[in-house]
Amino acid sequence: MSSSFIRAITAASLLTTTAAAPAVADNLGAALVGGLIGGVIVNEANKNKRRTVVRSSGVSSATRAHNRETQTALNYFGFQAGTPDGVFGRRSREASRQYQMHMGFPQTGNLTQYERDFLVTSYNRALTGGPQVVKAMQSPQGVRTVLKTWHGAPAGGSGRYGYAGLPIEVSNAVDEIAAAGDPTGEQLLQRTGFMQLADLNKDGRNDYMIDTSAAGIPYWCNSGGASCTVMVFASTPQGYERNDFTAGNITTADFTCTRGECDRIEAQTTTLAAAPVPQPVAPAAPAPQTGTVLASGGAQGGLGGIQLFETASAPAASLTSHCSKVSLLTSSNGGYMTVSSITDPELALGEQFCLARSYAINRGETLVSGLQGVTSAQVDSQCDQFGPALKPYVAQLAAGESTAVIASMQKFILQSNMSVEQLKNTAQICLFSGYRRDNMEVALGASLLLVGLGQQPYAELIGHHMALGFGAAEDTGRAQGWYQTAIAALEGGAEPVFAPGQPERVALVKAASTGLSQPGLPQPVQASGGAAALPTFGGSN
């Protein structure tokens, strides 16, 4: 049985798929519904927006999203909270009390920040599947049995718990931190970024990281406040071992642990072995070409006698490298091509692709910069789950028309049980993450999701990817459908998302894309000797 099928079975109680929508909802749920993407990013992004109040209940939209996430997690583990409507009523409080009783927490019906974070984190982790989840599904109590396993009780079930249901070692540290200042332990656990959970030593149980910089207590930080004590608690069969570090702006991704001992990843990677120095090789007699030499100087052409080589297996096309070349050509040509000066449709589209990429990066960077307690590394880590989750839909680009692919994407969106705002914010942030790191799988998946959400101007990006061969097989014919989707929306009055101050840009993309699939525009002038005046860049580096 394949792992993807097992993960789909695991999430079947929450998300339903159809033949038209590939069974990847569980993976996307893990990346979006909770944890970083669905929780922190959406909630933090909404802080800068006008607060919308639902008059029928007096609950804000941000609180509703927060509550729906909690209710969904409770339902998944069999604590029946009812329909995830975002209103935390009697049934949801009773489900919370049942969850607290199962975990051995105080049975108040009101979840502490830690109890809620552990619940939602475990839900996202369960959706990704794995042997522990599959085994738990076959047990009498079902998947909820992994909660105690992941909570980190020592082997044999004799674990001791302290404040707020935390392992006793972590609980004592919270009290120790609180004793040096004004906030109480309960107040500290409510602060964003104070405690983070992750399985750092890969033993199947949660480990804990406490960042005292979120406590706001000078005692735990140096005189300048740039570095504060960071405590990492790694699980062992005997309990938790504490590891203290002094650092600033750090996350669980910066640590690795072996059993109870932890180290900073940065310390392990700062010193690199020196690259071997190439030894001079005596010139050999001319030999027949074997395929590694592409061109040489002299009468054979090339670049002034410089030999060009290719490796045995060419690396994936780099959009970052491509845009650097395009920028150089644009500067050499005196600026961007216009509708009246197009001589090379491919280069014209390359200019507009790289321009749109810059706008997408700037927009996502603005969203991320507004997030407090969230680092770029955390965003990248979550978005790395985003691309594979949408891969089945991206794969449809090679065989389906744009309208059919969009329809398939929209069916998935309707079944995702997430708000349009959540999906849109996540897609824009992951589009930035993908382009910034040259991860075409993430960028293309985010573009497709935005189009499915009704943001048709983003279809231009998919056209560029397909026309120029970045993240998708080069197919100028199918690219036309995506270009036309964006052009029709913009000509119909849709708000531009790229370079809104350039009124002729729509006509330029339209002319260049038409010229690419139906050659009829003037081609670059050939220089003497048969070499083109300007190199062409297709999908090569």
pLDDT score of 509: 92
Residue 215, classified by CB atoms within 10 Å of its CB into exposed (0-12), middle (13-18) or buried (19+), is buried
Question: What are the sequence ranges of the domains in the chain?
Answer: 3-151, 163-265, 319-517
The yes-or-no verdict on residue 250 having pLDDT over 50 is yes
Q: Assign residue 291 a region: left if phi > 0, alpha if psi is -120 to 50, beta otherwise?
A: left
Dump pLDDT digits (tens) for 232-244: 999 888 888 999 9
Closest CA to 123 of 26, 254, 235: 26
Query: Is the Cβ–Cβ distance between 476 and 421 less than 8 Å?
Result: no
Q: Looking at per-residue confidence, does 52 or 495 come out higher?
A: 495
The torsion angles phi and psi of 497, rounded to 5 degrees, stand at -105, -15
pLDDT score of 71: 93
SS (H, E, C) 365-432: HHHHHCCCCCCHHHHHHHHHHHHHHHHHHHHHHHCCCHHHHHHHHHHHHHHCCCCHHHHHHHHHHHHH
Residue 172, classified by CB atoms within 10 Å of its CB into exposed (0-12), middle (13-18) or buried (19+), is middle
Q: Hunting for tokens 């997690």 — which residue is that?
A: 73
Q: Give the integer Cα–Cα distance in Å for 347 and 324.
A: 12
Question: Which residues have C-beta within 8 Å of that of residue 54, sequence separation ≥ 6?
Answer: 60, 61, 64
Give the pLDDT band (50/70/90) at residue 79: very high
Closest CA to 26 of 149, 192, 137: 137
Dump pLDDT digits (tens) for 315-347: 566 888 888 888 778 877 777 888 888 889 999
Within 10 A of 176 (CB to CB), how many other CB atoms are there?
Answer: 13
Give the pLDDT band (50/70/90) at residue 165: low
Lowest mean pLDDT of 98-107, 214-223, 276-285, 385-394, name the range.
276-285
Distance between first and last Cα of the chain: 39
Q: Give the integer Cα–Cα distance in Å for 323 and 510.
A: 20
The yes-or-no verdict on residue 210 having pLDDT over 90 is yes
User: What long-range pairs does 150-153 form, CB within 8 A, spacing at least 24?
Assistant: 150/122, 150/125, 150/199, 150/204, 150/205, 150/206, 151/103, 151/118, 151/205, 151/206, 152/205, 152/206, 152/207, 152/208, 152/235, 152/240, 153/205
Mean pLDDT of the chain: 73
Q: Looking at per-residue confidence, does 528 or 179 come out higher?
A: 179
Task: Please give the average per-residue pLDDT across 113-125, as a whole number.
Answer: 83
Q: Assign residue 246 a region: left if phi > 0, alpha if psi is -120 to 50, beta otherwise?
A: beta
pLDDT score of 59: 58
pLDDT score of 183: 81
Question: Which residues have C-beta within 8 Å of that of residue 331, sequence separation ≥ 6?
Answer: none
Q: What share of the chain is helix, strand, coil (3-state, %, to 5)?
A: 50, 10, 40
Give the pLDDT band (50/70/90) at residue 128: low
Radius of gyration of the chain (CA): 27
pLDDT score of 46: 46
Lowest mean pLDDT of 175-179, 285-289, 383-387, 515-519, name the range.
285-289
Most confident of 40-49, 153-162, 258-267, 404-413: 404-413
pLDDT score of 58: 54
Residue 58: both structure tokens together: 């007096």
The one-letter amino acid code at 35 reads G
Closest CA to 35 of 434, 323, 381, 335: 381
pLDDT score of 449: 92
The yes-or-no verdict on residue 50 having pLDDT over 50 is no
pLDDT score of 334: 76
Residue 408: both structure tokens together: 């398939």
Report the length, in residues, of the chain: 541
Largest distance between two CA atoms of the chain: 87
Closest CA to 188 of 174, 169, 172: 174
